Amino acid sequence: MTECSLLGCGQDEDQYYSMQDYEGAIARWCPGCGDHAVLTAVEKLLEAEQLVPEKTVFVSGIGCSSRFPHYLKTYGFHGLHGRALPVATGVKLRRPDLHVFAVMGDGDCTSIGAAHWIHTTRYNPNMVALMLDNGVYGLTKNQTSPTTPVGYPSNTQPRGAILNAMNPISATLGVTNASFVAQTGDWIPDHLYETIAAGFRHKGFAFIRILQRCPQYTTPLFDEAVRNPDLLEFMVHPNGIPMDGLEEIYKHQLPHDPSDLNNARCLAEPDERIRIGLFYRNEAIPCLDEVRQLPLRTAEEKIELLNAELDKYAV
Ligand code: SF4
């Protein structure tokens, strides 16, 4: 048996991690919440890839889905509203050897965190961003979010949302350096898993919008699509997300080459069916953690540099 040489952490390289080894606290989401399915898919991925818990980090903002790091036995950072992405980017820049995941809700990512979302897409750090979109602020008890459909009532707009909903897929595809953009649903477990796995294997910033059921506040948003597979249309391609075994259930399939950005942008526009699958992937775009490698320094070197900076202000 050998020990982990990278960190000298006493890690046994031959150790096999089961899904239970990644389980943290018992999830306190509502019964039937789509977040449970996403957590299971992530735990399955951690086991399949045998990610060392000490080398894996989940960063979140604020919201129901942002409780994610508590429910995993990896490193985690439950941060500030909308700030998951800059924290996760900082982790990745300082420690490119770690596997970094950011978990956000729709309000978290597309409202207060919108600037970070756009710029992180442009920076293209090598990490996965899961945006769990239930179309509402759930943790704070039902307020209109940027992705709430027009006309849908909430506590803040009881007569219905007054603006058309933001489209997070087309918005991401419009940002310079977007390198991986996909959409899946929490109620399609195989596709959900395959999408997160493809995002994990992607070299660059993998933005995954997960349509997420919130039985507490927004049941009508996805209820029909859950019951009727004909309301979904899967984008299919050898370089896309595999849909093994799902072809019989989801009959509406559309060939789409995920290297075609213009077509991806067209397909992101609303249609009679919800599009599921990989819109775009481009691994030729440089990652921030490649183009801006930070030197690893000892604690003494950091203190010396900090003191040198402070000395500039000596009077
Ligand atoms: Fe899930 Fe909605 Fe409950 Fe939040 S309020 S835990 S999103 S079902």
Helices 34-49 and 189-201: crossing angle in degrees, nearest 10, is 50
The 10s digit of each residue's pLDDT in 270-304 is 999 999 999 999 999 999 988 887 787 899 999 99
User: Among 296, 308, 309, 237, which residue's Cα sits nearest to residue 98?
Assistant: 296
Q: Identify the CATH number of the domain in which residue 288 sits.
A: 3.40.50.970
Q: Cα(4) to centroid of ligand 1, in Å? A: 39
User: Among 43, 20, 39, which residue's Cα sits nearest to residue 28?
Assistant: 39
Q: How far is CA 114 from CA 36, 46, 209, 280, in A?
A: 25, 28, 14, 20
3-state SS, 228-247, equals CHHHEEEEECCCCCCCCCCC
Q: Cα(87) to centroid of ligand 1, in Å? A: 24
CA distance linking residue 248 with residue 230, whole number of Å:
11
Token reading at 140: 């704070």
- 243 is in which domain, residue-wise? 3-311
Atom of ligand 1 nearest to the CA of 35: 1
* Total number of domains in the chain: 1
Segment 130-155 mean pLDDT: 97
Confidence of residue 7 (pLDDT cuts 50, 70, 90): very low
Q: Tell me: pLDDT of 6 over 70.
A: no
Indicate the top mutation candidate among 28, 39, 64 to test ligand 1's pocket, ranked by most ligand atoms within 8 A of CB.
64
Pocket of ligand 1 (CB under 6 A): 29-30, 33, 35, 64, 134, 138, 214-217
CA distance linking residue 65 with residue 120, whole number of Å:
20
The 10s digit of each residue's pLDDT in 50-65 is 999 999 999 999 999 9
Q: How far is CA 238 from CA 185, 203, 258, 279, 307, in A?
A: 20, 18, 9, 13, 55
Q: Cα(210) to centroid of ligand 1, in Å? A: 14
pLDDT of residue 12: 66
pLDDT of residue 248: 95
pLDDT of residue 297: 85
pTM of the model: 0.92
Token reading at 45: 């991925």
- The residue nearest atom 2 of ligand 1, judged by CA position, is 214
Contact at 8 Å (CB) between 212 and 183?
no
Atom of ligand 1 nearest to the CA of 105: 7
